[in-house]
Amino acid sequence: MTDRTISRHSGRITIDNRWVVPHNLYLVAKYNAHINVEICSQVNSVKYIYKYVYKGHDRAQVYMGSSAQDDHQDEIKKFLDARYVSASEACWGIMSFPMHKEYPSTQRLDIHLENDRRVYFNENESSDQVLNRTLPETTLTAWFKYNLENPEDNEAKQTLYPDFCEKYVFHKQQNPRVWRPRRSGFGGAIGRVYAVSPKDIEKYHLRILLYRIPGATSFTYMRTYNGRVYPSYQATARAMGLLQDDNEWNDTMSEASTTMSPQKIQQQKARALNQPVPTEITDEMYGHCLLDLNQILVANQFDLKTMDGFKDVFPTVDTRDSHAYPEVSTPLERMHATLLIEALEAPDPNSLPFNPSQLVAYNAIQRCALADENYDAAQSKLFFIDGPGGTGKTFIINALLDVVRKQNHIAIAVASTGTVTLPGDIPSDFVRIPDEMYFNSTNLLDLLAAVFPNISNSSTIDQYFAKRVILTPKNQDVSVINNLLLDNLPGRKFTYYSYDQVCDPQFRMQVPLELLNSIESGSLPPHELVLRVGSPIMILRNLDPSAGLCNGTRLIVKSLGVRIIEATIATGPKAGDVVYTPRTKFITEANGRIPFDFSRTQFPVRLAFAMTINKSQSQTLSNVGLYLFFHVFSHGQLYVAMSRVSKPSSIRIMVDPDISVLENLPGHFTHNIVNSEVFQ
């Protein structure tokens, strides 16, 4: 408080209580000493308590003498002779407590090519002794040997080389060196494979494969994929889809030509044109087109203008005529043309089967949207279409978009429906879960069985998964649920690995590849994508809106190829259409979590047995499980989740009892976030 002051030196100095150090009067009076009371919650507090540790250097050494004197300075001895030790450090040493600790421990794992391991020898040994000596096993060769000699160890078969030391111990002092299972079930080490420069091509790609192939028994095994032994580790990695090159789209189109119709192939070709220009021009490309013809002639001392007979063979084209090069349309014009074509192909909105309430809303909004351009701007209106789930809100909006586009106007849906909620009579931030919606169990497997009964025996997979889903607020729960349900689905598993790379070439050597592979985000496909035929998936990018491939669209996998996924659209106006999805390049910019730009090339999908609440907007479902072991965290999420169904009996809500019971109130509750500012 500045109004309480003390003056000193005839009023020349005025001091208020801003200069008073927090203190305890009782302690000051009892010990008659300068005692401050501080909360030791920061490093600065520790520095104050042990201030002399941080005041200057522990010891200053000054040496005086001539440069000609060869006086060796033993700095280690001087450090032991005189070093300041605080009271706490001295007590810690007297009690023989450890001065530092590393937990968990780390295990450095060797990496080398076949017959390319390091050999150590004494300079006094003869060449025969060195050549005849049995080479000791490295951690890599011992791993191969253990997997070969223990085929009954199923856990070892499923364990990657970098993860092997978590449950196995490498006995380095034993002869021969071997891996053995840990006696205790905990305390495993973290494996760190030595870094390898990309310039060392074969060893670098061997390191990549060691992070992908479990239970290997030899170097040849590491070069084997799908029953074929490849000549190099680089070729094996490319066959597994771990590398990207200029042949990516050539291979994609070759695979597509065996299953796709001509129209679908043209669509894939159009997407290929948006890919980066190849870094190297192959002989095959030269055979398909006349590339840089004039530059090739000039380099060989020819020119198109001076070649005899050239004008007689090819007629002259007047390039000054504007019709030779049509004008390039703007992005808005191209969007307008695309939307107009879609609207013309859609059914006449005026003939759609509206119910009376829908027709009232449709007519009111249509008259306002299609009014004459000279009408009073004050008559413009903002419309909210509200209603329970399944009453046709999206149906009205799609009809309005079509009728406006048919009148040659631009109409774009810029936000999904169901993103806000009205507070109504809610007295607090919690709402009571109706008894008919509450799922009386805390076992996640029970909820999965209730939403997906007889998942392994379903004959009509497309219809079975189209209207069933588990909703949850967080992506981490989505991944767990998807993996559990995928294991219950019959059929062979297909695993697809992404190709990850730092965008800045100067920064690539500093970021380990396994770090890029470990990055997970709701907007990115996983590095390791595991699918089965019949599993539901969700598109993560707007690939082709006219074909129904939009962000959030759910598909059912029909077949799985090497570079193409064939699937059937399960939701939206294109439901039932068969589409083909290639691998796509995702670029993530630097943010607070990732300090660099990096790219990931992967199929733009993820499993969709479960999905986040935000991704489920504008979808109407018939069987929903709402997994709320964590409360919703944003405005309107609870409304969006509960409005996906048209009747209460179609949704089952599982909540954590520890966070769903309110004192002195019966029933179960969950958090509901409503930002009133949205409606002001």
- The answer to whether the beta carbons of residues 616 and 471 sit under 8 Å apart is yes
Q: Which has more pLDDT, 185 or 242?
A: 242
User: pLDDT tier at 458 (50, 70, 90 boundaries)?
Assistant: low
Residue 205's contacts (CB-CB under 8 Å, 6 or more residues apart) are 232, 233, 234, 236, 237, 243
Partners of 610 in the beta sheet?
A: 470
Partners of 628 in the beta sheet?
A: 655
Residue type, 212: R
Provide the pLDDT for residue 58: 55
Provide the pLDDT for residue 138: 92
- Of 587, 588, 582, 578, the closest CA to residue 603 belongs to 582
266-279 residue pLDDT tens = 777 666 665 555 66
Q: What is the DSSP string of 327-355?
A: PPPPHHHHHHHHHHHHHHHSPPGGGS---
Provide the pLDDT for residue 323: 43
Separation of CA 186 from chain center: 29
**Is a pLDDT exceeding 80 seen at residue 448?**
yes
Q: What distance, in Å, lies between the first and last C-alpha atoms of the chain?
A: 40
Separation of CA 496 from chain center: 15
- Of 213, 273, 264, 268, the closest CA to residue 237 belongs to 213
- Element counts in the chain: helices (H) and strands (E): 25, 24
- Of 149, 214, 160, 233, the closest CA to residue 191 belongs to 160
- Of 573, 492, 475, 575, the closest CA to residue 531 belongs to 492
**Is a pLDDT exceeding 80 seen at residue 673?**
no
Q: Which has more pLDDT, 111 or 666?
A: 111
**Is a pLDDT exceeding 60 seen at residue 539?**
yes
Q: Which has more pLDDT, 422 or 532?
A: 532
Q: Say how far apart CA 405 and CA 401 lie, in whole Å.
A: 6
Of the listed ranges 100-104, 112-116, 301-305, the least confidently predicted one is: 301-305
Q: Say how far apart CA 36 and CA 208 lie, in whole Å.
A: 58
What interhelical angle do 262-272 and 248-256 show, nearest 10? 170
Q: Which has more pLDDT, 612 or 256?
A: 612
Residue type, 150: N
Q: Say how far apart CA 447 and CA 456 lie, in whole Å.
A: 16
Q: Which has more pLDDT, 554 or 24?
A: 554
Greatest mean pLDDT among 42-51, 245-254, 267-276: 245-254
562-601 residue pLDDT tens = 888 999 998 877 888 888 888 888 888 888 788 889 999 9
User: pLDDT tier at 98 (50, 70, 90 boundaries)?
Assistant: confident
- The answer to whether the beta carbons of residues 539 and 581 sit under 8 Å apart is yes
Q: Which residue has the tokens 């033993």?
A: 74
User: Within 223-322, where are the H helices?
Assistant: 233-239, 248-256, 262-272, 283-288, 293-299, 310-313
Of the listed ranges 140-154, 238-252, 332-346, 367-381, the least confidently predicted one is: 332-346
Partners of 411 in the beta sheet?
A: none
Q: Say how far apart CA 383 and CA 396 lie, in whole Å.
A: 12
Provide the pLDDT for residue 308: 60
Provide the pLDDT for residue 351: 67
Of the listed ranges 298-312, 535-549, 608-622, the least confidently predicted one is: 298-312
132-150 residue pLDDT tens = 877 889 999 999 999 999 9
Q: Say how far apart CA 625 and CA 439 lie, in whole Å.
A: 9
User: pLDDT tier at 454 (50, 70, 90 boundaries)?
Assistant: confident
Cα torsion angle, 24, 27, 32, 36, sign? negative
Q: Which has more pLDDT, 142 or 68?
A: 142
- Of 569, 574, 562, 564, the closest CA to residue 537 belongs to 569
Q: Which has more pLDDT, 305 or 241?
A: 241
Residue 193's contacts (CB-CB under 8 Å, 6 or more residues apart) are 109, 111, 161, 162, 207, 210, 211
Q: What is the mean pLDDT of residues 643-651?
A: 86
Which long-range CB contacts under 8 A does 340-348 form with residues at least 24 apart?
Answer: 340/405, 340/406, 340/408, 341/546, 342/402, 342/405, 342/546, 343/401, 343/402, 343/403, 343/404, 343/405, 343/406, 344/406, 346/402, 347/402
Q: Say how far apart CA 107 and CA 168 lie, in whole Å.
A: 11
Q: What is the mean pLDDT of residues 656-662?
A: 79
Residue 411 to residues 337, 346, 369, 403: CA-CA distances in angstroms?
12, 14, 10, 9
Cα torsion angle, 343, 349, 355, 357, sign? positive
